[in-house]
Amino acid sequence: MATTLYLIRHGATEGNHEKRYKGSIDVPLSEEGIEQVRRTAEFIKAELQGESLSAVYASPLSRALDSAALIAAPYGLEPVVDNELRERHFGIWEGMTWADINDKYPLEFRRWADNPLDHSPVGGESSREVRDRFVPAVEKIISRHADEKVAIVAHGGVNRVILCHVLGVPLEYMFRIEQDNAAVSIIVFHDKYPVAKLINHAERVY
């Protein structure tokens, strides 16, 4: 037997095209984001082939929690909020666009982009700090649902951290793993040995 994790990023948010670091700011899903998640929910249901998710866990931020509600609904579940699944705090960069950050903090932004392990957003959470709260939280969920199928709905930044952990990818290369809005990755845990079956599958909305 094995435990299967469906790791999902929330759908697109209002103002998503502006490319802002939202971090801990609570931003609602857009209509496009809701449709993205609905399609992802349909994909997961088809992939389960008549089986059910045992639980759906979510970050407390509404964009993840509302996405989780759509994922959970077909199974009669309510999302379980876990504060450790929240997105990285981006310090004084929160709410700023990439262009604004690059303009006001060019050196710090370049250092962060080149090596997010050894450099952090100004006044924000480091990649090591994100790893140290997110990986244990996921491991607890996997242990709690041994031999079951479970979903986690969180954020691009933290999802990359667990994918690096599973794949053995050095954390400084986390941005080499894409996480599209409403994308799902499937990881199967055989005892303590994880196998990634699918990474960053996103149902397109045209």
Q: 57, 116, 51: which is closest to 86 by C-alpha?
A: 57
Residues with catalytic function: 10, 87
Per the DSSP assignment, residues forming a β-bridge with 152 are 7, 57
Do 201 and 43 touch, CB atoms closer than 8 A?
A: yes
Read off φ and ψ for residue 160, nearest 5 degrees.
-60, -35
Pairing of strands 149-154, 193-201: unpaired
Which residue blocks in the chain are alpha helix, DSSP H?
Answer: 31-48, 62-72, 98-104, 106-114, 127-144, 156-167
The secondary structure of the chain in percent helix, strand, coil, rounded to multiples of 5, reads 45, 20, 35
